[in-house]
Amino acid sequence: MIPNWQRNGFKNKEEAIKKITADISKMYPMDPWALMDGNLRTRIKKFQKKI
């Protein structure tokens, strides 16, 4: 089975996580880790596990 991050065209897991975190930061322009609500933080963690 191909890992999700590979299927989505990333070179490695770290690159995928950086990109997704950057995308999320764009949607929520404040510092995404400091001010993020718990719900969103959980979603990112779940997403990172899935990759």
Q: What is the pLDDT of residue 43?
A: 72
Judge contact between 41 and 49, C-beta under 8 A: no
Q: What is the pLDDT of residue 22?
A: 77
6 or 33: which leads in pLDDT:
6
Instruction: Tell me if the pTM is above 0.85.
Output: no
6 or 51: which leads in pLDDT:
6
Q: What is the DSSP letter of 43?
A: H
Interval 5-15 mean pLDDT: 74
How far is the C-alpha of 14 from the C-alpha of 27, rounded, in Å?
A: 20
**CA-to-CA dists, residue 1 to 20, 26, 50, angstroms:** 22, 31, 13
Q: What is the pLDDT of residues 11-49, one digit of tens each?
A: 777 887 788 777 766 766 555 555 556 666 677 777 777
